[in-house]
Structure 1
Amino acid sequence: MRRIVLMGVCVMLLASGCNNDNNDGGDDISPDRRVTATLNGTSAVPTNTSAAMGAVDGNYNEATNILRLNVTYQDSMMVGDTLTGDSLMAFVPTGWHIYKSAAANELGESMFDLGSTFSSPYQYTDTLTEAQERDLLDGLYYLNVHTAAYPEGEIRGQLRVE
């Protein structure tokens, strides 16, 4: 009987010394969250038939509040209209910003200017405030690329955080 009790005590001592390293009371979620968007003319406001397209792929670190985005776009080709002889304007960015809007089909307030260097790919990094972090995580931000042909934005995409 003493052996059984002694064995039971040993098992309990061994079990109490075990630690579940994955359960520290906090979330098991990495502080890095993926941020993506698909940029196109059908998402722009107003919508358009531009052949230009782009993408956003990046991450947001919740511990440091740093947003890193890799923005790419593909120019539509300069095309001539064979019936009229007119040439259609090529996709040449004149500005790009991240806007805040409660609805995906509305124009919003400019929150971040991505600068005047237009290259693809383009890396953008910024540190967000706590309020901006909430807006990003709530899906309120979209990226908009402006051109001379579409000053309100030729291609646009809602930033999604995974």
Structure 2
Amino acid sequence: MSKKSTLLSVAVLLAVSFTLMYCNDHQTFPANAKIQLVTTLSGAGEKPISVVSPGMGSFVGTIDRATRVLSYTLTYSGITPTMGHLHRITSANGTGPVEIPFTSLASPIIGTATLATDSRVDSLINGFYYANLHTPMYPAGEIRGNVRVNGQIKLTATLNGAAEKPMPTPSAATGAFVGVVDPTTRVLSYTVTYSGITPMMGHLHRVNAANGTGPVEIPFTSLTSPIIGTTTLTTATRLDSLFNGYYYANLHTPTYPAGEIRGDIK
């Protein structure tokens, strides 16, 4: 690699690192901060299996770290819900129990709730809560969105053979994905590092099958670690899928052409 290329790679890495430092992270918020929260609800956001629904929704809220009071407004169209809640994720498939039942179901749903502990507030800020509207056709939920802090979002994944689907591999190789996505522009910037393998292909995939696999969405333009890239997600639905954990990074080798190490992006 030339000196110019090396300096360019270092510059890009520094730029990505600088951006990550200023992404949403609850540790950067003071104890009395009032933090804006948002999400978009859709059938594509449902877990563990997405659904096809004409319904759409939007959640905006504010959490006061000092008082733990959450104020929110949820609007929706295209469905007639029978139940609605904020849930907290507690299982590996991205689902969890009801934490905050909505006191009304007519759009707009406007409410306030006090979270029980500071740990619950941290969970909310770090993306472990989701808004879910249920219908008779989809009693487990017809439209859903993971609640997130408003602004650029940091994304991470750890790549290893154990994470490969539908079957894990015994690979000793490891990798890491770090990225930032701007919800307004849908621009995703990312860096993938790895060791222990020589990949012949690498991509971001989007899950669309029950076994947790899916087609290539974003091919990596290089395969030398660190892999540094920028791309624009084509639609708001793709952005929702990314926020709701439906994308994964995958590195493929001749020994494991379907993927040797993988990491689900969170």
TM-score by length of 1: 0.68
Match of 1:124 in 2: 229
Match of 2:156 in 1: 36
Does the C-alpha gap of structure 1 residues 100 and 23 become closer, same or farther in structure 2, counting only changes over 3 Å?
Answer: closer
Q: Root-mean-square deviation (CA), in Å?
A: 2.2
The alignment of Structure 1 onto Structure 2 pairs a total of residues equal to 122
Does the alignment pair 1:101 with 2:207? yes
Cα separation, 1, equivalents of 2:213 and 2:228: 24
**Aligned equivalent of 2:242, options 136, 144, 157:** 136
Post-superposition Cα deviations, 1:30-83, rounded to whole Å, max 9, x if no partner, equal 4210000000000012211111000001111112211111100012xxxxxxxx
Structure 2 residue ranges without an equivalent (≥5): 1-33, 37-59, 63-148
Q: Which structure has the larger Rg over C-alpha atoms? A: 1
* Partner-residue secondary structure (3-state), 2:169: coil
Cα separation, 1, equivalents of 2:211 and 2:154: 23
Cα distance, 1:106 vs. partner?
A: 2.7
Structure 1 residue ranges without an equivalent (≥5): 1-21, 76-90
Cα separation, 1, equivalents of 2:35 and 2:175: 40
Identity of aligned residues (%): 35
Does the C-alpha gap of structure 1 residues 52 and 104 become closer, same or farther in structure 2, counting only changes over 3 Å?
Answer: farther
Does the C-alpha gap of structure 1 residues 159 and 99 become closer, same or farther in structure 2, counting only changes over 3 Å?
Answer: same
TM-score by length of 2: 0.42
* Partner-residue secondary structure (3-state), 1:93: coil
Query: 4+ runs of 1 displaced by more than 4 Å?
Result: 102-105
Match of 1:7 in 2: none
Match of 1:81 in 2: none
**Aligned equivalent of 2:195, options 74, 79, 84:** 74
Cα distance, 1:27 vs. partner?
A: 6.0
